A = this chain, B = another copy of it.
Amino acid sequence: MATLADVARHAGVSTATASRIINGSSKPVADALRTRVLAAVAELKYVPNAHAQMLARSHRSAVGVIVHDVSDPYFAEITRGLQRVATADGRLVIICNSFREPDRELEYIDLLHAHQVAAIVIAGSGYLDPATAARLDDRLRAFEATGGRIAVIGRHEHTGDAVLPDNEQGGFLAGEHLFTLGHTEIAVIAGPSYLTTTADRLKGLQNAARKYGIKLPKKRIYHADFTRDGGEEMAARVLADEPEVTAIAALNDSMAVGALAALRTSGDRRVAVIGFDDMPIARDVTPSLTSVRLPLTALGERAMALALGAAVESPRVEHVEAELVVRQSTWPR
């Protein structure tokens, strides 16, 4: 491990001069020295120790991102947006997967805090349980108290700036679409019941049901885990349990795709399916999936912009509307 001192010695200058040359400080330096130092850097294959740098100039630069799972396309899209604006700003982004476990999320908040990140962006559903939310918020506040910035995507219970997709309105859109097509017997494949996203989307659906005078009994709400396979399994159960159902509203596209698969294996061609999120795959399944679009990449970009922007007294909140995208998987009853 060549150190700055090695380079300086090699070039016959002080570490101060070497540091100034390497970092392109504003202080003027003779060209002869500059050349010597740069040559020493190349020869020794010197790479500065980022930890020492961070410690010495105590200003934060990296940003941390906590998502449920980057390999889930939903978060992949959001992350893409986050990365774009972060790297455009020359920042290292550290991505952490919480896998929907509050404890892991807690751990990562502290870890990012320890790593002196400038900001933490948390994307993905929050936790309905107030105790859990409070615990998270507590750690977040501790981070904020040290001057860190916070931005959240899609959860409203925390301190800091927020970008909020309107899940409730999106749920309403999904319900309205199905009900105006004449479906009265619908089943819902929801996500885990402890997530706010599930609750919000469901609420929108119920609002729509109320408006259109349709009843949406508890037993018609099946909880899966937001994965494709979970959706397939639940859809199969719906098909078995409730033969009168004519449409399934899945609360995300992965589960909707699973539902389509269940329909395919059962040979059933009469049940309509609507998804949520409008992920790229929606175009490529057959029938192509009607869905409620959330501008995921944009969500990420805006959240990162908030996180990197100047701090403001009162947290900024941006709302983002959902939008219905009609394709071939829904039809009149």
Q: How far is the CB of A88 from chain B (nearest CB, A)?
A: 13
> What B residues does A228 contact at CB under 8 A?
280, 284
Q: Does A95 contact B (CB under 8 A)?
A: yes
Give every chain B residue within 8 A of A110 (Cβ-Cβ).
47
A47–B54 Cα distance when bound, in Å, is: 16
Chain B residues in 8 Å Cβ range of A80: 71
Residue in B55, B73, B97, B283 whose beta carbon sits within 8 Å of that of A51 in the complex: B55
Q: Which residues of B contact A94 (CB under 8 A)?
A: 92, 94
CB neighbours (8 Å) of A95 from chain B are 70, 95
Complex: how many Å from CA A259 to CA B142? Answer: 51
| Residue numbers in B under 8 Å from A146 (CB-CB) | 1, 47
B286, A285: Cβ atoms under 8 Å? yes
In the complex, are the beta carbons of A284 and B281 less than 8 A apart?
Answer: yes
Interface centre among A79, A283, A284 (most CB of B within 10 A): A284
> Is A113 part of the binding interface, using a Cβ–Cβ cutoff of 8 Å?
yes
Q: Which residues in window 141-156 of A have CB below 8 A to B? A: 142-143, 145-147
* Residues of chain B contacted by A92 (CB below 8 angstroms): 94, 111, 115
Q: Which of A12-62 contact B (CB under 8 A)?
A: 45, 47-55
**A49 contacts B79, C-beta separation under 8 Å:** no
Count copies of this chain in the complex: 2
Question: Which chain B residue shows the least CB distance to A80?
Answer: B71
Interface assignment of A238: CB less than 8 Å from any CB of chain B: no
A110 to B114: give the CA distance in the assembly, Å: 22
- Contacts A49-B55, A51-B115 hold; do A77 and B83 have CB atoms under 8 A apart? no
Q: Of all chain B residues, which has the CB nearest A2?
A: B146
Contact of A79 among B52, B71, B281 (CB under 8 A): B71
A284 CB to closest chain B CB, in angstroms? 5
Residue pairs across A and B with Cβ atoms less than 8 A apart, 29 shown, are A1-B146, A45-B142, A47-B142, A47-B143, A47-B146, A49-B114, A49-B116, A50-B111, A51-B54, A51-B55, A52-B55, A53-B114, A70-B71, A70-B76, A70-B79, A70-B95, A71-B73, A71-B77, A73-B76, A76-B76, A92-B115, A94-B94, A228-B280, A228-B284, A257-B284, A261-B284, A281-B281, A281-B284, A285-B285
> A47-B114, A71-B76 given. 17 additional CB < 8 A pairs?
A1-B146, A47-B143, A49-B114, A51-B52, A51-B116, A55-B55, A70-B70, A70-B71, A71-B77, A71-B79, A71-B80, A73-B73, A76-B76, A95-B95, A228-B284, A261-B284, A281-B281
Listed in ascending order, the chain A residues whose CB lies under 8 Å from chain B are 1, 45, 47-55, 70-71, 73, 76-77, 79-80, 83, 92, 94-95, 97, 110-111, 113-116, 142-143, 145-147, 228, 257, 260-261, 280-281, 283-286
